[in-house]
């Protein structure tokens, strides 16, 4: 049982590191004792929890959601991670011919726990509100959503078992003892120029070559194989409360700047309508920082015009350690923006 206590102001600097270590230890213990449990949220509860994402729980949740909703959800494996874990992709939508699609992924960076939470929230909301919510029903009737719940599964699990702030993949590199590549610097879009490092020990290491990581290669291969149908690409990150679009690897504006900026402005307004959460929007390079090799820039250069990156809550108070009490409001408001973008795409197919 937890008790309330107070500390003198001059001791806060000493106490906070101890508390953070205690909380992390509790989270790791929680993961260890529930490794075989289903990775899911109970939407009937008032509060939601982060849960560790093991190989078994990913398989269980994706299999379960597909089995329970065969008319709306199907599951496939698009590849395996460096450590051999299957990358499950969910296709969400009512069956139909000649449907266009939106691709959405979460969990590029391991420590951004709110990101995989949103992808799961989206799928659950889709299946539970189909036939009840007019916008969602129309979207699923007329579009397919390809949802990759966690891109960087190896790294994500590592944040539960070893290092909560781990960012990269878990691949090994010849000639270096440092582990991992930043998967969002590993795409062939201005690869390893601005905002990326050639040092394997850096948190923004671009990898030895574009798509050197099994995870990024699997994602890119799937999108290339479905370019004729995928009309939007959404990638979910945290934190900073931003809605970004190309480019990040150059300060040059994309040819569709005016339209993308208008969409981002309107989507940010939709998001803010629920809890007054303010988002900044604009091209990645000028809005947050220059970064080459990103998936959104790559997707845009492949011809997917509507390519956006979400940086979810917050703006730094908790950062990557976003409290569980903020899972629900974060997902609720983000869903409004995603639905707006999806509906815009549906009305402006190309």
In angstroms, rounded to a whole number, what is the distance separating the alpha carbons of residues 94 and 70?
Answer: 10
Q: Provide the 3-class DSSP secondary structure of residue 126.
A: helix
In angstroms, rounded to a whole number, what is the distance separating the alpha carbons of residues 268 and 312?
Answer: 11
Rg (CA), the chain: 20
CB atoms within 10 A of CB 321: 17
Q: Which residues pair with 74 in a beta bridge?
A: 91
The sheet with strand 230-238 has its strands ordered as 73-80, 86-92, 143-148, 100-106, 230-238, 306-312, 242-245, 280-283
**Two tokens, residue 57:** 């729980």
Catalytic residue among 125, 211, 213, 311: 311
Whether residue 119 contacts residue 103, with contact meaning beta carbons closer than 8 Å, is answered with no
In angstroms, rounded to a whole number, what is the distance separating the alpha carbons of residues 196 and 182?
Answer: 9
H or E stretch covering 231? strand 230-238
Whether residue 310 contacts residue 236, with contact meaning beta carbons closer than 8 Å, is answered with yes
Whether residue 194 contacts residue 292, with contact meaning beta carbons closer than 8 Å, is answered with yes
Residue 311 annotated among the catalytic residues of the structure: yes
Q: Which residues pair with 170 in a beta bridge?
A: none
DSSP letter for 46, please: S
Please report, for residues 47, 140, 232, 243, 296, the alpha-carbon distance to residue 251 in angstroms, rounded to integers and kept in the order given.
41, 36, 22, 17, 15
Whether residue 143 contacts residue 345, with contact meaning beta carbons closer than 8 Å, is answered with yes
Name the region of 349 (left: φ>0; alpha: ψ -120 to 50; beta: rest): beta
In angstroms, rounded to a whole number, what is the distance separating the alpha carbons of residues 221 and 227?
Answer: 10
Q: Which residues are catalytic?
A: 311
């Amino acid at each position: 049982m937890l008790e309330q206590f107070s500390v003198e102001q001059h001791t806060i600097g000493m106490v906070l590191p101890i508390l953070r270590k205690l909380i992390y230890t509790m989270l790791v213990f929680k993961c260890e004792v529930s490794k075989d449990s289903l990775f899911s949220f109970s939407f009937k509860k008032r509060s939601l929890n982060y849960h560790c994402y093991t190989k078994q729980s990913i398989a269980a949740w994706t299999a379960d959601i597909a089995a329970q909703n065969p008319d709306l959800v199907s599951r496939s494996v698009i590849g395996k991670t460096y450590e051999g874990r299957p990358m499950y992709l969910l296709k969400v939508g009512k069956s139909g011919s000649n449907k266009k699609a939106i691709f959405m992924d979460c969990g590029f960076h391991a420590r951004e726990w709110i990101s995989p939470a949103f992808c799961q929230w989206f799928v659950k909301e889709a299946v539970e509100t189909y036939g009840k919510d007019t916008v969602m029903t129309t979207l699923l009737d007329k579009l397919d959503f390809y949802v990759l719940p966690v891109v960087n599964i190896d790294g994500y699990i590592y944040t539960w078992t070893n290092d909560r702030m781990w960012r990269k993949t878990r691949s090994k590199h010849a000639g270096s003892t440092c582990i991992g590549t930043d998967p969002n610097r590993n795409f062939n879009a201005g690869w390893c120029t601005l905002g990326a490092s050639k040092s394997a020990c850096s948190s923004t290491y671009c990898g030895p070559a574009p798509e050197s990581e099994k995870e990024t290669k699997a994602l890119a291969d799937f999108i290339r194989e479905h370019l004729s149908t995928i009309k939007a690409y959404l990638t979910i990150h945290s934190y900073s409360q931003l809605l970004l679009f190309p480019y990040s690897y150059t300060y040059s504006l994309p040819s569709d700047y005016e339209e993308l900026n208008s969409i981002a402005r309107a989507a940010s307004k939709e998001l803010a309508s629920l809890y007054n959460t303010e988002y900044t929007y604009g091209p990645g390079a000028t809005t947050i920082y220059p970064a080459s090799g990103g998936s959104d820039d790559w997707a845009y250069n492949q011809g997917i015009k509507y390519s956006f990156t979400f940086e979810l809550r917050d703006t730094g108070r908790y950062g990557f350690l976003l409290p569980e009490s903020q899972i629900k409001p974060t997902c609720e408001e983000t869903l409004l923006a995603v639905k707006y973008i999806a509906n815009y795409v549906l009305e402006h197919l190309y």
